[in-house]
Structure 1
Amino acid sequence: MLIYIVAFKLIISLVLAVFNFRVNKNTIYLTGFLVTIALSGLLHYFAFMGDNASLMAVFNYHITPTYYLFGPFLFFYVRGTLTDRNKLSRRDYFHFIPAVISFLSIVPFYFKNWDYKLIVARKIIDNPEVLKVWNEGVLYPSYFNVIGRPMFFMIYLIATIALFLRYNRSLAKYGPVSAQKTLIKRWLVWLISLSTLACASYFAGAIMFIFSDVVNKELVNSSPLGYLTGVFFLTIPLLILAFPPILYGIPIHKKGKRKNFEHKVDASDVYSFVGKSDDPFQQDAKYILDNIHEEKWYLDPEFNVDFLALKLDIPKHHIYYCFNYIIKSKFTKLRAQLRISHAKKLLEEKKSQNLSQDDMESIALTSGFGTLYRFISAFQEEEGTTPMEYVKKL
């Protein structure tokens, strides 16, 4: 059962990274946190539950450096979510020193022959107590990792909790509490709480493992602490399914930014998408719509969220937040409607002519659609009829 749980974690982690990295790069740290925990779970399974020496040989000692990334990844993710910042400073790279030391200590093992690694793997599978004494480390005893992993994780959890409490008190200065902020804080409370419980139970289990006189597979597998640790860590990726908006982060509205801009055009047709909201990003939503309407960027076939973020110097996850929670329309939906609105004006101007396929293709390209097929498809989806049928009804 554990192997399927770990596989589920890996799938969730990879999906999270692939589909959301472009939206909010901060999710890479959450993905790293989930992946490193999943790798640790695989090693635990092959050592205490499985009987496959080859797979145990693949994971045994090789992934030791990842043990020291649990804490940094979680810390970076929580900090980035709270501060709306995902870049690492030079000082942040010091957090990777324990993982680097662990890697350097185990480097010789990477170059040992496969038969030797199989022998070590089989010894551990047959008798887990081997982990207490077997040493493959150069800089420090490799069995220190049994207790060092949860110990370092706990240190980072304490730092993460302190960070959360500090920022939780100061977030109010960025504007009124929004639904997104409330949701994110609730998610972080769950994430930090479950991680703390999992780490505490795992730390206790590691101490029992080190100081118990006799340790065997049956004892480890029947341990309540083991079950609790697995449940806590499994719940974290499940929470992502329950809190999908967490991927946008907490948009931090910096006072004074675009504070006094004026609307330069009458954009009533565009602003009909904006819902009533007291969200501090209401102003940014209008700023985005102002520029889309005035510059007519939607007529460019390359117009997308990346284009918009570059032109306006606004983080992409801020733009997604504005569309999903304030404008209350998908970016692609609004873009298609604006393009079709422009195309309808061109069609009305040429209603007295016999439009050829070349004419239609010219209108499609002029309106921002890359191809005639996309134009016809989007027009039919929005208007319930084809462009040619629309012209006949005029």
Structure 2
Amino acid sequence: MKNKKILLAVCGSVSFYKAYEIISLLKSEGADVRVMLSDGALRFANLISFEALVQNRVLSSISEDWQSGLNHINYSKNDLIIIAPASANTINKIAHGVADNVFLQTILASTCPKLIAPAANNNMLENFTTKNSLEILSKNGYDICEPVSKILACGDLGKGALADPQIIVEMAKRTLNQDNFYKGKKVVVTGGATTEKIDDVRGITNFSSGKMAKALADAFYYAGAELTFISSNEFSAPYPIIKFSSSEELLNAINSQNLSQNDLLVMCAAVSDYKPKTKFNGKMKKSQNELNLELVLNTDILKSLNLNCKKIGFKMEMDRALAKQNAINMLNSKNLNAVCLNVLDEKIKFGSDQTKIDFITPNGEFDTGFDTKPNIAQKITELAKQI
């Protein structure tokens, strides 16, 4: 989003105040933000509060000024327009080409991508007219950020509240960065550590933070993929997340996905190599000085998949001398399209925010260099297009 010109178009809604948080989040991403207020929004807020935040003049029916460039033609030229909150009235007018004020004229004149986040009484949004309008907008390139269900300002319970500002901004990143290669393509990313139960309160696990997997899930989502994240860690995200704990739960979750040969599985989860041979029921009692725990080799998930899709595996090593050959062996023995090799050292550790990946395929390898996990995840989305 850095240096991207984004227009936030705010409609009249009691959730108008969330626009301030959207602005703050966009600016924290480095975006150049401008604001446009509808006549309805002017009933809730004034120009000064928004101008203080964005440090640009705000376009509205009372501030329009052609001599200074504050007009619908100038403000229609952006990298992205976010309409949030979007009222039912505005949704219906945009869908049918009505442009009876400067707010609607600006949207009609714009050719950039658009994201619309509805907020209204649930009956107004579920009315056949509004539903048809949203369908028209979706078919013509608008991305729709679905409202959420809660008790609304009017006291009704229904799906009409504005989506969380963080989710709106995450969707805005996707709208800005979509890659035609990933449109319509399903991508499943797995992440986090498995936990193999010893008893009902103890388990064998590892120190994986799931940060790299989350960065990958974000990167493929921003690229436009139909993303599903299978994770043992809790995250907030605009895409579906399936939780797992054990390796068996992880395997079942992966095999439940309907993937074709052109879709992609990114296996970033850290699966325990061993698991207890037997599980104690309840909680083990501390009754002796020593306890012998018998372990058996765990299920090899990559070899147990029922999916006919492209697969990227992750390999973590600590011995640099053997790491690359072990990764190549994994590539061949598990019939993978690529392996992401990660060698732990004094800089690359569990839970760190930076790492380095060797992306290894049957045709060669690419060194991402030492970088942040989000940046490396973005590089992997580009490399994955070649497998």
Name the TM tier (shorter chain).
under 0.3
- Structure of greater Rg: 1
TM-score, structure 1 as length reference: 0.26
TM-score, structure 2 as length reference: 0.26
More helix by share: 1
More strand by share: 2
Structure with the larger RCO, 1 or 2 (CA within 8 Å, 6+ apart): 1
